[in-house]
C-alpha cells in the first residue's frame, strides 16, 4: 500500500534494525484517512471470506480493526491486556511482547466469539508472531474459525510471517519490510 509505505518513510522513526516507531500516525496519534484506506485494502482482500467478527489485541490494533469492522459491517472484539473484575467467563493466556521484552496476560470474554464466527484478525505489527499465536489460542478456545490475518506492517525478516503462512491462513500485510539496515527500509513487496 503506497500511501502507508510513504507514511512510514516520511513519519516513521527507525529505532534500530528491528524496531520501527510509527506513533505519529498509527500507534499514538491516528491518521484517520490513512486508517480508513487500510480498512478498504483489508476489505478488498478478505471480502469473500464471510467475515462475522474482527478481532485484535488492545491497543495499537484497535484503530485499523475498528475501521475494518465498519467497512465489513460487523462487530469488532478487542482482546484485553488486563482482566477486569467484571469479566464473567474469560479465556486467557500469556503473550511475549517483542517491543516490551516481557510476558503479559491477555484475555477476552468467551461469549463474544463462537463456532459460528469467521474471524478476521487485524493487528498493527507482525514481528515474531507471538501476539498472533496468543490471539489464535483464544479464538480457537472459543470455537471460532480464523478466516484471515491482516497486518498493517510486517517485518518479514522475523518469524511471524512464516508461522502464519505455514499454518495456511489467508494473509495480507499492507506494508511488508524485508529488512531495516542503517536507518533504511527495504520493502519486501
Binding residues for 5-phospho-alpha-D-ribose 1-diphosphate: 127-131
Q: CA 169 to CA 165: how far, in whole Å?
A: 6
Phi–psi pair at 61, nearest 5 degrees? -85, -10
Phi–psi pair at 49, nearest 5 degrees? -90, 0
The C-alpha cell that represents 103 in the structure block: 510476558
Sign of CA dihedral 17, 19, 20, 21: negative
SS3 assignment, position 179: strand
List binding-site positions.
20, 27, 127-131, 155
146 forms beta bridges with 119
Q: CA 169 to CA 22: how far, in whole Å?
A: 26
The C-alpha cell that represents 93 in the structure block: 493466556
List binding-site positions for xanthine.
20, 27, 155
- Assess contact for 148 and 45: CB atoms under 8 A: yes
Amino acid at each position: 500500500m503506497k500511501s502507508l509505505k510513504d507514511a512510514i518513510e516520511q513519519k516513521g522513526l527507525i529505532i534500530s534494525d528491528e524496531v520501527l516507531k510509527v506513533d505519529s500516525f498509527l500507534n499514538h496519534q491516528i491518521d484517520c484517512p490513512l486508517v480508513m484506506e487500510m480498512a478498504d485494502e483489508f476489505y478488498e482482500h478478505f471480502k469473500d471470506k464471510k467475515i462475522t467478527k474482527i478481532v485484535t489485541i488492545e491497543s495499537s490494533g484497535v484503530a485499523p480493526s475498528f475501521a475494518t469492522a465498519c467497512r465489513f459491517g460487523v462487530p469488532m472484539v478487542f482482546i484485553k491486556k488486563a482482566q477486569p473484575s467484571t469479566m464473567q467467563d474469560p479465556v486467557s493466556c500469556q503473550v511475549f511482547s517483542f517491543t516490551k521484552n516481557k510476558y503479559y496476560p491477555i484475555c477476552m470474554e468467551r461469549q463474544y466469539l463462537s463456532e459460528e464466527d469467521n474471524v478476521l484478525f487485524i493487528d498493527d505489527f507482525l514481528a515474531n508472531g507471538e501476539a498472533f499465536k496468543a490471539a489464535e489460542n483464544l479464538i480457537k478456545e472459543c470455537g471460532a474459525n480464523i478466516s484471515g490475518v491482516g497486518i498493517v506492517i510486517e517485518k518479514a525478516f522475523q518469524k511471524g510471517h512464516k508461522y502464519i503462512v505455514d499454518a495456511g491462513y489467508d494473509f495480507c500485510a499492507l506494508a511488508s519490510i524485508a529488512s531495516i539496515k542503517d536507518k533504511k527500509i527495504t520493502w519486501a513487496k
